[in-house]
C-alpha cells in the first residue's frame, strides 16, 4: 500500500477507530512480534492513572533530556497533530516515518485489524527502538492491565491519581479501576504512587507485596513547598530521599501540580537509588523549567489571551473539572464564561454538574468529531438553565462568549482535547 501523502496516511490510521477500543493484549503482541519486538530494545518508565499522567510523564522526560539522555515520550491524545504523541527529545516523529511504518506494515494491520491505539503504540515502540533511545517515558492510554502499552517491563511503574473514568472498560467502582491501574505493576519492578485514596492505596500495597515490587508512596517520601503560585505556574522546593532542591520553576498552572511534582521526585529517587541514574541541580532546574519546550506538553490551563482572559484546559473527566475551582482562584476576573463540549461516552452529566458549581455561564457546543455529544444532550444535564445556552459549533460558542465577557471576563474552553483542538483553529484566525 502506498499513501499519496501524510494526510492520507493519517486518515487511514484514524479509520482504524472503526474497530473501537480493543481492551486486551492479543493484537499488540502480534504487532510487536511482526515489528521485531521493539519494546524489548529500550528501557522505560511506565505511567498509568486517571489524571496527572501527562504532567508527570512530561516533566520526567524533560529532566532526562536535560541530563543528556536520548529520551522517548509517548502520550495521548494529541491536540493539533497526531505526531505530538510520539517524540524523541521533544521532537515529533517525522511525517515520512509515519508513512513508511504504515506502508511497511499495512498488510499486517489489515490482517490483525488492530485499533488505532494498538497500531500507533506499535509504531511508537518501533520508532524508539530505531532511534536508540536511552529511556522512553510511556503513558498508558486506557486503564493499565490490558492497555496496549502494558507489554513493557519498565524500570519503574508509576500510578498517578485514580478516579472514576472509562467505566465501560474499567468498571464503575474505584476498587475495580484501581485493579486495572495496578495491572502495570510487574514482578520485582519498583512502583511509585501518588497520594491515593485509602482503599486504592491499600489495594496497590497488596499488589506490590504479592509481586515483590518495592513501593514508593511519594506523598510520604517527598515534600514539596510552594513559594510562589499564580496563573503562569509555580515556584517550589522539593525534598526527597536523594534530592533537596530550591527555587524550581514549573510553568504549568494547576492546584494539582504539587502532587504531580511529588510523584516526579518519587520516580527520580527510584532511578537514582536502584539504577544509579542521578540528576544534578541544574539538570533538575532546567528540566522542570523547560518542560513545555522539551516535550510540547501544553494546554493544561494555558492562558492564550487577556482582556478578557482566554484559557484552554483539556480536563475531560470529573476529577479534572473539580480541580478547576482551586486553579481559577489564581485568576482575577469579573465574569466566567465556560465553553464546554465532551464525548458522548464520557460522564458529561457529572462534569456539567461540577461546572455549574463554578458560578459561571455555560456555553454548550460540539467539537467536529463523530463521538462528540450533541449540545441538546449536554443541555438536558444542566440544572440552572438560565445560565446556559447551546451553540452548534465552537466558532459560534466563542463569538457568544466574546460578546458577553467584556475586558474583565474569563473565557474557559474545556471538556475535550477535540474541543480545544477545534478552538485553536478558529482562535488563531479570529
Q: How far is the C-alpha of 380 from the C-alpha of 122, rounded, in Å?
A: 40
Query: Measuring CA to CA, which residue among 74, 140, 94 is closest to residue 297?
Result: 74
3-class secondary structure, 91: strand
Instruction: Identify the pLDDT of residue 301.
Output: 87
Interacting residues of 204 by C-beta distance below 8 A, sequence separation 6+: 159, 178, 181, 182, 185, 191, 193, 196, 215
Name the segment(s) of the chain with CATH classification 3.40.1190.10.
Answer: 6-295
3-class secondary structure, 44: strand
Query: Measuring CA to CA, which residue among 218, 42, 36, 21 is closest to residue 137?
Result: 42
Question: pLDDT truncated to tens, each residue of the chain (430 aa)?
Answer: 899 999 999 999 999 987 666 668 999 999 999 999 999 999 999 999 988 999 999 999 999 999 999 999 999 999 999 999 999 999 999 999 999 999 999 999 999 999 999 999 999 999 999 999 999 999 999 888 999 999 999 999 999 988 765 545 455 588 888 999 999 999 999 999 999 989 999 999 999 999 999 999 999 999 999 999 988 899 999 999 999 999 999 999 888 899 999 999 999 999 999 999 999 999 999 999 999 999 999 888 899 999 999 999 988 788 888 888 888 988 999 999 999 999 888 889 999 999 999 999 999 999 998 889 999 999 999 999 999 999 999 999 999 999 999 999 999 999 989 999 999 999 975 5
Distances (CA, A) of 182 to 42, 179, 406: 22, 5, 47
Cell of 286: 532546567
The CATH superfamily holding the domain 302-428 is Mur ligase, C-terminal domain (3.90.190.20)
Cell of 380: 438536558
Contacts of residues 242-247 at CB distance under 8 Å and 24 or more positions apart, as own/partner, are 242/268, 242/269, 242/272, 242/273, 242/278, 243/268, 243/269, 243/272, 243/279, 243/284, 245/281, 245/284, 245/285, 247/285
pTM of model > 0.85? yes
Name the segment(s) of the chain with CATH classification 3.90.190.20.
Answer: 302-428
Instruction: Identify the pLDDT of residue 167.
Output: 47
Instruction: Identify the pLDDT of residue 254.
Output: 86
The topology under which CATH files domain 6-295 is 3.40.1190
Amino acid at each position: 500500500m502506498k499513501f499519496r501523502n501524510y494526510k492520507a496516511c493519517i486518515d487511514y490510521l484514524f479509520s482504524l477507530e472503526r474497530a473501537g477500543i480493543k481492551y486486551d493484549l492479543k493484537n499488540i503482541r502480534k504487532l510487536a512480534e511482526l515489528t521485531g519486538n521493539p519494546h524489548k530494545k529500550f528501557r522505560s518508565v511506565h505511567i498509568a492513572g486517571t489524571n496527572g499522567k501527562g504532567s508527570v510523564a512530561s516533566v520526567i522526560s524533560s529532566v532526562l533530556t536535560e541530563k543528556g539522555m536520548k529520551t522517548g515520550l509517548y502520550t495521548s491524545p494529541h491536540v493539533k497533530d497526531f505526531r505530538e504523541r510520539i517524540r524523541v527529545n521533544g521532537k515529533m516523529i517525522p511525517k515520512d516515518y509515519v508513512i513508511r511504518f504504515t506502508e511497511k506494515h499495512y498488510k499486517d494491520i489489515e490482517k490483525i485489524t488492530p485499533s488505532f491505539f494498538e497500531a500507533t503504540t506499535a509504531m511508537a515502540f518501533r520508532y524508539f527502538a530505531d532511534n536508540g533511545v536511552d529511556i522512553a517515558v510511556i503513558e498508558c492510554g486506557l486503564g493499565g492491565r490490558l492497555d496496549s502499552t502494558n507489554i513493557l517491563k519498565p524500570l519503574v511503574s508509576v500510578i498517578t491519581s485514580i478516579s472514576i473514568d472509562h467505566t465501560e472498560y474499567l468498571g464503575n467502582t474505584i476498587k475495580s479501576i484501581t485493579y486495572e491501574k495496578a495491572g502495570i505493576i510487574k514482578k520485582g519492578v519498583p512502583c511509585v504512587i501518588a497520594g491515593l485514596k485509602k482503599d486504592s492505596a491499600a489495594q496497590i500495597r497488596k499488589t506490590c507485596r504479592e509481586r515483590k515490587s518495592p513501593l514508593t508512596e511519594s506523598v510520604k517520601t517527598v515534600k514539596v513547598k510552594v513559594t510562589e503560585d499564580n496563573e503562569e505556574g509555580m515556584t517550589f522546593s522539593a525534598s526527597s530521599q536523594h534530592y533537596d532542591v530550591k527555587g524550581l520553576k514549573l510553568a504549568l498552572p494547576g492546584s494539582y501540580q504539587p502532587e504531580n511534582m511529588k510523584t516526579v521526585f518519587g520516580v527520580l529517587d527510584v532511578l537514582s537509588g536502584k539504577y544509579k541514574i542521578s540528576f544534578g541541580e541544574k539538570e533538575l532546574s532546567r528540566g522542570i523549567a523547560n518542560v513545555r519546550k522539551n516535550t510540547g506538553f501544553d494546554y493544561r490551563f494555558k492562558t492564550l489571551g487577556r482582556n478578557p482572559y482566554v484559557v484552554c484546559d483539556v480536563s475531560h473527566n470529573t476529577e479534572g473539572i473539580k480541580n478547576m475551582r482551586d486553579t481559577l482562584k489564581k485568576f482575577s476576573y469579573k465574569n466566567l464564561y465556560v465553553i464546554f463540549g465532551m464525548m458522548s461516552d464520557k460522564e458529561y452529566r457529572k462534569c456539567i454538574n461540577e461546572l455549574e458549581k463554578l458560578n459561571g455561564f455555560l456555553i454548550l457546543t460540539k467539537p467536529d468529531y463523530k463521538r462528540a455529544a450533541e449540545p441538546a444532550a449536554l443541555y438536558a444535564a444542566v440544572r440552572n438553565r438560565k445560565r446556559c445556552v447551546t451553540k452548534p459549533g465552537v466558532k459560534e460558542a466563542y463569538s457568544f462568549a466574546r460578546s458577553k465577557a467584556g475586558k474583565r471576563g474569563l473565557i474557559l474552553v474545556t471538556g475535550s482535547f477535540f474541543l480545544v483542538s477545534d478552538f485553536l483553529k478558529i482562535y488563531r484566525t479570529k
